[in-house]
Amino acid sequence: EVHLVESGGGLVQPGGSLRLSCAASGFAFDDYAMHWVRQAPGKGLEWVSGISWNSGTRDYADSVKGRFTISRDDAKNSLYLQMNSLRAEDTALYYCAKDREGYNRGQLDYWGQGNLVTVSS
Amino acid sequence: QSALTQPPSVSGSPGQSVTISCTGTSSDVGSYNRVSWYQQPPGTAPKLMIYEVSNRPSGVPDRFSGSKSGNTASLTISGLQAEDEADYYCSSYTSTNTLVFGGGTKLTVL
């Protein structure tokens, strides 16, 4: 059974940094692209970033480009999101999600339960 | 990266059919068959219901079906059940190798 478990969220001041992690199990992690998707309180889903199976392709939403960095460690079956220069509008529940394919094609067949990031002074 | 356009809400009675539309552009929905639909009941993570426009993952009832015409994709739920009440989101792969979601549609089962 596929499991995705996010961690690393919390309260951070504007301008601060945070690193999210996602521990994956139940599938061949190094065969698939992975994504981060966020959902602000009471709002819809917003794609944040995706990384291909071999880390050769990393893509970002315009809203986070230059501030966030996605990475993966296949030896640890883990996905990461380094978030710098955080803003109030980055406050959201951050989901880790698995792609159905090895490259970023955006068809997300498994999702974690989400991890809350709150940016506030 | 403008969001895809969905109606904010739809409703139907048990046993009826409802259709949710999802309108994009020639840079996303109109050019790619990587259109997906997700179901999100309150307080839960999204669940993939349809991928590649019209394919259902294992375990998704065949009451759920998807289609596409031009820049607009659609999700149809037939034989509506109380358990179908949830928010539904469409998404599409785009020409800039990104993913765009719709704003979401709240389905109410009357």
Q: pLDDT truncated to tens, each residue of chain B (110 aa)?
A: 689 999 999 999 999 999 999 999 999 999 999 999 999 999 999 999 999 999 999 999 999 999 999 999 999 999 999 999 999 999 999 999 999 999 999 999 99
A29: three-class secondary structure by DSSP: helix
Residue among A48, A119, A101 at smallest CA distance from B36: A101
Query: Model confidence over A76-109: pLDDT tens digits?
Result: 999 999 999 999 999 999 999 999 999 888 899 9
By residue count, chain B amounts to 110
Q: State which residues of chain A have pLDDT below 70.
A: none
Q: Pick A107's closest partner by Cβ from B40, B51, B87.
A: B51
pLDDT at A106: 86
pLDDT at A86: 98
Query: Which of A22, A45, A49 to mutate against chain B (most B CBs within 10 Å)?
Result: A45
In sign, the C-alpha dihedral spanning A107, A92, A62, A76 is: negative
Q: Mean pLDDT, chain B, as a whole number?
A: 96
Query: Model confidence over B66-93: pLDDT tens digits?
Result: 999 999 999 999 999 999 999 999 999 9
Strands A115-119 and A10-12: parallel
Going by C-beta distance under 8 Å and a sequence separation of 6 or more, which residues neighbour residue B66?
A: B35, B37, B50, B53, B54, B55, B73, B74, B75, B76
pLDDT at A116: 98
Chain B contact for A98 (CB, 8 A cutoff): no
pLDDT at B1: 66
